[in-house]
A and B are shown apart, each in its own frame.
Chain A
């Protein structure tokens, strides 16, 4: 797909200063844009290239980056529009932290498990790695992801998929099942909840239902084939597939089993969902099915009528994606998208749909259905269930408007 991207142009400008490739002389009369691009040989078959390196880097032509909502960077968003497939490069995985990113020496690291167990134990990182391990490819989404698509007033049109929904990422996570540690410590059959506690400045805590711990919770030390990145919980974190990201406590230092939830600040005053009937949902952990189109999207511009591929990702915290439907007429008619292999439970799933743009204005929309039969709702349906002032779990359908000149703008929630 030929794309005109303002971001790419800026990225190329930044890359030009790197100058790490073989140089050619600037050509008189070339535009500033051309002059700013990384310098490469006119014919790479006529010159030997650089030799191997200890650690690779991206092509200087590619500068994907995380962005934040504000200067006070307590979170950052994944550049979804710059990614193919389903794996998020580890250095582009979204971030959210409540006390900054702690620096932890893995040699000093330990994890305590205690409370309603027969044998309170301490594990070093080497201990965790010695247990029978498991690798799974799973997504993680922040419960606040997509709030920008929920507001009816002040909906911005010039925002990228990253700026709207970039608090979701997929990695291959490697670790030891939490169930294995519970067995090692001799968990009491009367234990119902587990407090997970981080060693960041927030000493972040969440209570985890014991059923989740025995189901598919992981104490992860690996991400995409390497140790966790510091901002993802190095050297070890809790990872709860399909669950709102904040519950997957990073920099994990302690697990305490109890008969009751601990009612921490995050799970009571923050990550709860007030409802229109005057109640508030607590421990609303699972992420409902959702999809979004990553191409074409702002700031793309279709250069002319003809065939384009609509691309995006879909996922559900409750299992596999069963289907994704696409509408290229603003939701009037729907057709199934093709799902790329692999289609994994609780994981980003890549979808594709051939779109013949005939010119003229239209809106393209995606709609996911998961294996439980749940279909991504419209904005009206979700707002009726949750109210306009709700703060989390914005999984309604959203769209992109293609203008007559080919420019693509965010159409908001639909």
Chain B
């Protein structure tokens, strides 16, 4: 997958031959271990052996999923824009929807509500969240992907009417929140094409987990 990740996530994100090679080995090991464990379990099961899974052959349990039922549940949106539906929304439209459906929890203009603060670019001298307990993580200073804002808002907001927003309303709210954070201009229009192109301020801050056990505390 191209470069939708920051460089620091290269270990996962870049489509390198090395990575695929390592995965192939991992798969081989996983299948090998599965085979071993299933086989050892079968030594006690006797006659059941023939019908138990020794290989890649499916057991025939479950039924085929229809395209319609997949489409109904498949609401997630990925950083490269996969999963975004048709539709569009403007900052001004978003402001009106926000005032009606979001403001009571998140405060006027995304600040000062009883629930998560959405707006703010302050992150200290060097993305200081580990050192400064007074910093508040917001969409503007911490969220690495704009697509996440669409995904989460569409699936789970507003809190008391979860999953009730249309794609157009969601695009509009995303445009408004991004504009409040001064990430997109006031005349921005969010849709399938424009949203994945938005680069979030914190995008390149995220790094792979390097803890592996052993003597060093990381």
Expressed in whole angstroms, the minimum distance between the Cβ of A283 and any Cβ of chain B is: 6
Contacts of B131 in A (CB 8 A): 276, 387-389
* Distance in angstroms between the alpha carbons of A381 and B53 in the assembled complex: 48
A195 to B78, CA, bound (A): 11
With beta carbons under 8 angstroms apart, the residue of B73, B135, B137 that contacts A269 is B137
Q: Which residues of B contact A120 (CB under 8 A)?
A: 64-65, 70
A179 to B53 Cα, complex, angstroms: 12
Q: Is the pair B69, A122 in contact by a Cβ cutoff of 8 Å? A: yes
Asked if A268 lies at the interface with its beta carbon under 8 angstroms from chain B, I say yes
Q: Are B206 and A282 in contact (CB under 8 A)?
A: yes
Known A-B contacts A123-B62, A263-B145, A269-B143; the reply to A387 vs B130 at CB < 8 A is yes
Bound Cα distance from A275 to B139, whole angstroms? 19
Query: Which of A114, A123, A254, A274 is B129 in contact with, Cβ under 8 Å?
Result: A274
A215 CA / B32 CA spacing, docked (Å):
11
Q: With a CB–CB cut-off of 8 A, which chain A residues contact B156?
A: 98-99, 201-203, 265
B64 pairs with A121, CB closer than 8 A: yes
Query: Which of A84-92, A304-312, A366-374, A399-407 is near enough to bind chain B?
Result: A366-374
Query: For A389, what are the chain B residues with a Cβ–Cβ distance below 8 Å?
Result: 129-133, 135
Is A346 among interface residues, defined by CB-CB distance under 8 A?
Answer: no
Contact with B along A378-414 (1 / 0, CB 8 A): 0001100111111000000000000000000000000
Determine if A385 and B1 form an interchain contact, defined as CB atoms under 8 angstroms apart. Answer: no
- Per the bound structure, the CA–CA distance linking A253 and B23 in Å amounts to 27
- Name A184's contact: one of B58, B127, B145 (CB within 8 Å): B58
Among the stretches A125-133, A323-331, A349-357, the one at the interface with B is A125-133
Asked whether B213 lies within 8 Å of A203 as measured between CB atoms, the reply is no
Q: Does B18 contact A (CB under 8 A)?
A: no
Identify the closest chain B residue to A286 (Cβ). Answer: B211
Q: How far is the CA of A125 from the CA of B76 in the complex (A)?
A: 24
**B148 and A374 within 8 A (CB):** no
Q: Is A259 an interface residue (CB 8 A)?
A: yes
Answer yes or no: A45 CB below 8 A from chain B CBs: no
A284 at the interface (CB under 8 A from B): yes
Contacts of B127 in A (CB 8 A): 274, 278-280
Find chain A residues with CB under 8 A from B213 CB.
286, 288, 316, 318-319, 370, 372-374
Number of interface residues of B (CB under 8 A): 71
| B70 with A263: CB separation less than 8 A | no
Residue numbers in B under 8 Å from A130 (CB-CB): 61
A282 and B79 form a contact (CB under 8 A): no
A119 near B209: Cβ-Cβ < 8 Å = no
Return chain B residues, CB-CB under 8 Å to A336: none
Q: Is B50 an interface residue (CB 8 A)?
A: no
Beyond A121-B64, A215-B30, is A279–B205 a contact (Cβ under 8 Å)? yes
A268 touches B155 (CB 8 A): no
**Min distance, Cβ B128 to any Cβ of chain A, angstroms:** 7
Q: Would A184 and B65 be within 8 Å (CB), given that A112-B70, A205-B155 are in contact?
A: no
Q: What mask results when residues 9 to 21 of chain B are scored 1 for a CB within 8 Å of chain A, else 0? A: 1001100000010
- 22 example contacts (A-B, Cβ-Cβ < 8 A) are as follows A119-B64, A121-B63, A122-B63, A122-B69, A123-B61, A180-B53, A183-B34, A183-B53, A184-B58, A186-B56, A202-B162, A203-B162, A203-B163, A260-B80, A269-B139, A274-B127, A275-B130, A281-B208, A283-B208, A372-B213, A372-B214, A389-B132
**Which residues of B line the A interface, CB within 8 A?**
1, 4, 8-9, 12-13, 20, 23-24, 26-27, 30, 34, 38, 41, 52-53, 56, 58-59, 61-65, 69-70, 73-76, 78-80, 126-133, 135, 137, 139, 142-145, 147-148, 151-152, 155-156, 162-163, 202, 205-215, 217-218
9 closest A-B pairs by CB? A387-B130, A372-B213, A274-B129, A214-B30, A278-B126, A265-B152, A120-B65, A274-B130, A389-B133
